[in-house]
Amino acid sequence: MEILPAIDLRGGKCVRLLQGDYDRETVFSDDPPAMARHWESLGATRLHVVDLDGAKEGAPRNLAVVRDICAAVSIPVQLGGGMRDVSIARQALGAGVDRVIVGTAVLDPGAATEFVTSLGDRVVAGIDARDGFVAVRGWLDTTEIRAVALAKKLVALGMRWIVFTDIQSDGMLKGTNIPALKNMVESVDASVIASGGITTIDDLRAARDAGAAGAIVGRALYTGSLDLKEALNALC
């Protein structure tokens, strides 16, 4: 299972939010490229970057910083936040990212199909859930759509990668929602990357045992609750 350090961008800085709440922000670095190099130096094989401004506003707002991050490391970078159409996603790919994560836009089957047709395996469905229901627009709005139901539809359209985030676990350092993750993994024929709440090596092992292809880790790495090198060694 791949471990992906998270770099969340807001106003050009590396931050973390609690449960996606923009009013509960902690700034961890004003030099995201340096942070990216740090995670790579510890053994990361891929980075997970989110443009929080883009997620909220509907279009990427930190592409210049993303470009700098991609130039600073030799490992692949995946980017989410504001990927509302294929042309915007192509801009992100042009900035150097390896994969784009599409959230709000995949609610539209036509848009989801266009993403898959145009970008193939370079597009990832970002499914963020609050109490099992899909949340969109940077988690500001919760829909009446079940996360697993959406995932099944997207996989039927050709999506092969899913980043599944349990919002209530995110940033809380209390572990991830393993039952929800396992349900997602067992419900779809796709590679599922777990996100939200992963704090310890045991959490990572639990995500791996639930069938996750990868796990995104954020706040736990920044606070020192989890050591990336130790985690990589423990899971190898």
DSSP state of 203: H
Over residues 195-223, mean pLDDT: 95
pLDDT for 20 equals 57
pLDDT for 170 equals 53
Report long-range pairs for 150-156 (Cβ below 8 Å, ≥24 apart).
Answer: 150/106, 150/107, 151/125, 151/127, 151/184, 151/187, 151/188, 151/190, 152/187, 152/188, 153/109, 153/112, 154/106, 154/112, 154/125, 154/127, 155/188, 155/189, 155/190
- Answer yes or no: is pLDDT of 6 > 60: yes
Q: Which of 181, 185, 161 is nearest to 169 (CA)?
A: 181
Q: Report residue 79 as tokens.
A: 């980017």
**Band of pLDDT at residue 185, cut at 50, 70 and 90:** very high
pLDDT for 189 equals 97
pLDDT for 138 equals 60
pLDDT, tens digit, 9 for 90 and up, residues 15-72 = 877 665 676 768 888 999 999 999 999 999 999 999 999 988 888 899 999 999 999 9
Over residues 138-150, mean pLDDT: 85
pLDDT for 142 equals 85
% of the chain residues with pLDDT over 70: 92
Distance CA 236, CA 206 (A): 14
Q: So what CATH class is 2-235? A: alpha beta
- Answer yes or no: 128 catalytic: yes
Q: Name every residue whose Cβ is closer than 8 Å to that of residue 41 and which is 6 or more positions away in sequence.
A: none
Query: Residue 26 in 3-state DSSP?
Result: strand
pLDDT for 162 equals 98
Q: What are phi and psi of 99, to 5 degrees?
A: -140, 150
**Band of pLDDT at residue 214, cut at 50, 70 and 90:** very high
pLDDT for 59 equals 86
Q: Report residue 88 as tokens.
A: 């915007």
Distance CA 207, CA 61 (A): 32
Marked catalytic residue, from 8, 51, 68, 203: 8
- Answer yes or no: is pLDDT of 139 > 80: no
Angle at 26 between CA 21 and CA 31, to 5 degrees: 125
- Answer yes or no: is pLDDT of 98 > 90: yes
pLDDT for 17 equals 74
Marked catalytic residue, from 128, 166, 170, 203: 128
**Band of pLDDT at residue 198, cut at 50, 70 and 90:** very high
Cα distances (Å, whole numbers) of residue 61 to 46, 82, 106, 174: 22, 8, 20, 31
Query: Residue 51 in 3-state DSSP?
Result: strand
Higher local confidence (pLDDT), 173 or 199: 199
Pinpoint the alpha helices (H) of the chain.
Answer: 32-41, 52-57, 63-72, 86-94, 109-119, 147-157, 178-187, 201-209, 219-223, 228-235
pLDDT for 131 equals 87
Q: Report residue 66 as tokens.
A: 């993303």
Q: Report residue 133 as tokens.
A: 């229901």
pLDDT, tens digit, 9 for 90 and up, residues 157-177 = 999 999 999 886 654 556 789
